[in-house]
Amino acid sequence: MMKGLGGFGDMAKMMAAAKDMQAKMAEIQEGLDKTTVTGEAGAGLVKATATAKGELTGLEIDPSIFVASEKEVVEDLILAAIKDAQRRAQDKAQSEMARIAQDLGLPSDMKLPF
């Protein structure tokens, strides 16, 4: 179909590949909004839930840790659970990007999006 166009045929292939990549990236971004991860601290006494994009969506605290004298411990557990959820979100996003890079035949260490 593109025979006889010289370099323009290659350019058309590159443009089609770029369009495919853009569509897959949009699909991944939408998926990351819907995917949730849960971080924990204090052996599950505090749980933080976030989207795979890192947006905090929920916090669950076991009522047994609500002791006035343990306020600082509770605060530390909350922060630790949030940080764990954010780390898990980042890991999930990176694994999804690596999967797409592999599907597109790109090097596995290539950072997406560019």
- How far apart are the C-alpha atoms of 74 and 67, rounded to whole Å? 9
Give the start-to-end residue ranges of the domains of the chain: 37-107
Write b or e for each residue in 32-64: b if 16 or more Cβ atoms lie within 10 A of its Cβ, otherwise e: beebbbbbbbbeebbbbbbbbebeeeeeebeee
pTM here? 0.68
pLDDT band per the 50, 70, 90 thresholds, residue 82: very high
* Low-confidence winner among 3-17, 37-51, 62-76, 90-104 (lowest mean pLDDT): 3-17
Query: Tens digit of pLDDT for each residue in 100-111?
Result: 778 777 776 666
Q: What is the pLDDT of residue 59?
A: 93
pLDDT tens column, 54-67: 899 999 999 999 88
Q: Domain 37-107: which topology?
A: Ybab; Chain: A; (3.30.1310)
